[in-house]
Amino acid sequence: MLIASVHALDDELGRHGGRLVIRSGDPADALRALVTETGATDLYFNADVSPYADRRDSHVRARLNNQLEIHTSYGNLIQEPGAVLTKKGGLSQVFSAFHRTWVNTPLPMLPEPGKGRPVASVGSEALPAAEPSRLVAGTDAAYERLQIWNEQVDDYETSRNLIGDTTTSRLSVDLKFGTLGPRTILAQIGTHTPGRAAFIRQVAWRDWWAHLMVYHPDISRSAIRPAYDRIAWEQDDDGFERWATGTTGFPLVDAGMRQLVATGWMHGRLRMICASFLVKDLLIDWRRGERFFRHHLLDADPPQNAGNWQWVAGTGPDAAPYFRIFNPVTQSKKFDKDGDFIRAWVPELAKLPSPAIHEPATLAPLDLVALDVVLGRDYPAPIVDHANARQRTLIAYRAALDDGELA
């Protein structure tokens, strides 16, 4: 998707008489050479909150700022880090308070595109060949997706938690690759109906996690609330493998994980359910899950992924208290009521009616056989007893917190 998006950008520049120049190597060296070759006087680039991007950009700034004017802006966020602060001047640790200030913060000015002038022809490496991408890449396709969503967004408040492919915008991939800017989304969707306001509130979560990463650059590696780094996680490789391959015996979790690996996509509510299952039912370190999601999600983005994993694990700010543990079967009955999503991704259970499809073991073995299912042969028996797993997790979290209080 990344390479396809870069090709689409090159095509788009071509329509304006330009093109991308590709150079590999140390970014400061490559840019310095290009500045000399073109006589450029200004350098514009998009800032990013991840520690890797921050190191790269600081390096470029340090090496080039006596040579030309450097301008950066956070085009990939609605508000820049540091713009939405508490009265005491810090970042709110509670999202709803952040959001109240966020909606009243004036939008920052972005640089206007200049006139552009032809430059001497400069050499470029070839773009790597684009592999088929899972979404049509580029801004034209992204705008079309935004227009379609603009017709549906008014139902967002009631539909957003239902697991399906059209109940949310699926614009996170465009946000990730920059084929849509969040301010373009805000301008198009607005906040004038409850559905639109609820949707834009979600986009504000994205700003919040990004701002938070500036204060906690280590967010993918350590708990924001350090006491939780004392949890005695299980080193359960078999459990992790079953979670990752969608064979836990909990149908909705399995459906979600299979969809993720096959398509790079998972609905937001389902991300919470699958993440919670790994952490709270299997007591496996959230960092293992965070890495797995980062590897598979098309929209994988360090602050969003790590922030949400910490939210689910209860180790970050504004997280639900650790003792509130999702019941994967109750969630399944609520958000995939008829079991259609499960049927699509766990075909071995396709003949089971709802509600049994959410919990196949509730059917007698003979009834299951009549529906072509033998548990343990066609579909796994549940990997854990949820009530026991819940108790184990509560004890482990409590012990970590007690140790923290003693330390």
Ligand X SMILES: Cc1cc2nc3c(=O)[nH]c(=O)nc-3n(C[C@H](O)[C@H](O)[C@H](O)COP(=O)(O)OP(=O)(O)OC[C@H]3O[C@@H](n4cnc5c(N)ncnc54)[C@H](O)[C@@H]3O)c2cc1C
Instruction: Determine which residue in the list 80, 285, 301, 359 makes contact with ligand X, applying CB under 6 A.
Output: 301
* Binding-residue pattern over the window 153 to 182 for ligand X, x denoting contact by CB under 6 A: -------x-------xxxxx--xx------
Quick check: helix, strand or coil at residue 51?
A: helix
What is d(CA 361, CA 352) in angstroms, rounded to the nearest whole number? 11
**Quick one: 67 or 184, whose CB is closer to ligand X?**
184
DSSP-derived letter for residue 322 is T
What sign results for the dihedral spanned by CA atoms 365, 369, 370, 371? positive
308 binding ligand X? (CB under 6 A) = yes
305 binding ligand X? (CB under 6 A) = yes
Instruction: Determine which residue in the list 178, 217, 268, 380 makes contact with ligand X, applying CB under 6 A.
Output: 268
CB atoms within 10 A of CB 395: 12
CB atoms within 10 A of CB 114: 8
Closest CA to 42 of 135, 115, 123: 115
Instruction: Determine which residue in the list 202, 247, 327, 354 makes contact with ligand X, applying CB under 6 A.
Output: 202
**Quick one: 43 or 312, whose CB is closer to ligand X?**
312
* Binding-residue pattern over the window 76 to 115 for ligand X, x denoting contact by CB under 6 A: ----------------------------------------
Q: How many residues bind ligand X (CB under 6 A)?
A: 28
Tell the smallest beta-carbon distance from residue 204 to ligand X (Å). Answer: 8
285 binding ligand X? (CB under 6 A) = no
CB contact at 8 A, 296 and 260: yes
142 binding ligand X? (CB under 6 A) = no
Proportion of the chain in helix, strand, coil states, percent, rounded to 5 = 55, 5, 45
Q: Which two tokens stand for residue 68?
A: 């030309």
Number of H helices, E strands in the chain: 18, 2
Tell the smallest beta-carbon distance from residue 73 to ligand X (Å). Answer: 19
CA angle 399, 404, 406 (to 5 degrees): 95
**Quick one: 312 or 342, whose CB is closer to ligand X?**
312
User: What residues make contact with ligand X under the rule CB under 6 A?
Assistant: 160, 168-172, 175-176, 199, 202-203, 205-206, 209, 268, 271-272, 275, 293, 297, 299-301, 304-305, 308-309, 312
